[in-house]
Amino acid sequence: MTSTPVGIHDLSFATTHYALDHGVLAERLGVDPDKFYLGIGQEKMSVAAADEDIVTIAAAAAKPILDRHGVDNIRTVLLATESGVDQSKAAGLYLHPLIGLPNTARVVELKQACYGGTAGLQFAAGLIARDPSQRVLVIAADIAKYELDTPGEPTQGAAAVAMLVSANPAILELEPHSGIYSADIMDFWRPNYRTAAMVDGKTSVNAYQKATQEAWADYRRNGGRDLTEFAAFCYHQPFTKMAFKAHRHLLESQGHTAEPAEIDAAIHNTTIYNRTVGNSYTASLYLGLASLLDHTGDLTGQALAFISYGSGSVAEFFSGTVQPGYREHLRTEANQEAIATRIALDYDRYRVLHETESPSDGMYHAIPEETGRPFRLAAISGHKRIYESR
């Protein structure tokens, strides 16, 4: 008896209204722009308008999927984020009036740093394996924020990626083998009383590399493919240079010669979107997949490797096969438009947006209309968030 293929049937991406060029940031910090352009591999970072948050970008990412496929048999909605808007209520529940989610779908929010989107994808695959008639909407949405004038500031960003997971997928079939590595490490964290994350950069890079190597070893122990079988490697990208570093480390740990041209061929096309969007935490890995599919020749039948890392930490190495006809289902033009239509921020406005905090007095606070994106946070009243479509 053969199992039903399960994987990504559709994929849609959204980002924020604004973008800050790293050249602007470099000028105000008094550093060479190449410290960012070349050193960490970042050109721009998406910045949320005052009336944007993870709910608005999650809705913008998910709506095209529902417009194309409808809501029939969507029995579960999993929203992964580490920048949630409520300590109790799942952010996905706000999407019901915005994009028309079915009331017959369970809605759950998942959190484990940048790994949460992969947890959602794997949980979705398990649900569909049990009942192939079901479909699961997985959304990874985050706004990465660090304190001003810190080493983490240039690695901010924002994006949401929505994935429709189903049997007999049109884009990518997930393969059954997976490798896991978890460890209690304080490389990146955000206590409840802080709005910006705390990070130990050196520890985080080392932890990422070790977790990649260990997850790979577990993947192989569980019957996974050889390194030479993959057409490309999609890594989590807190900054795009990290993907190159991690791949070099993985190759060298397995006795392979890490030639720059070989690494570039395996990684470069996965970094094109992330380079100009910035870190999007849970969405980063899957934005890398969208970038790869949009910028690479025919990948039909090719195996792709996925390396998901979430600080604290959990890592997973898994794989998938690109499906025949996948190009007919891509959203390349929409993806590129989402990036191209962002409004360039000046530094002073960026600082104001960065330092603005949500009101906490329980009074009515209208949020000035600012974003040009399809959904916005209209007000906060009685400690309740009120959203609207534009």
- Establish whether 82 is a catalytic residue: yes
Whether 22 and 43 have beta carbons less than 8 Å apart is answered as: yes
For 378, phi and psi rounded to 5 degrees? -85, -35
Q: Residue 207, Cα to own-chain centre: how many angstroms? A: 19
User: CA-CA distance, 27 to 288, in Å (whole number)?
Assistant: 28
Contact 377, 53 (CB under 8 A): yes
Cβ-based neighbour number of residue 275 at 10 Å: 21
> Can you tell me the distance from the alpha carbon of 212 to that of 222, in angstroms, rounded to the nearest whole number?
15
Residue 332 near residue 171 (C-beta atoms within 8 A): no
Instruction: Report DSSP state, residue 131.
Output: -
Within 10 angstroms of residue 352's Cβ, the number of other Cβ atoms is: 11
- Which among 9, 17, 22, 82 is annotated as catalytic? 82
The rounded radius of gyration (Å) of the Cα atoms in the chain is 20
- Residue 141 in contact with residue 79, Cβ under 8 Å? yes
DSSP 252-304: HHTT----HHHHHHHHGGGSHHHHHHB--GGGHHHHHHHHHHHHSS--TT-EE
Residues found in the chain? 390
d(CA 82, CA 148): 19
CA–CA separation, 91 and 81 (whole Å) = 9
Active site residue 43: no
Task: Exactly one of 9, 17, 22, 236 is catalytic; name it.
Answer: 236
114 is catalytic: yes
Q: Which residue of the set 22, 52, 109, 114 is catalytic?
A: 114
Which DSSP helix (H) or strand (E) runs through 322?
Answer: strand 314-322
| Catalytic sites, residue numbers | 82, 114, 236
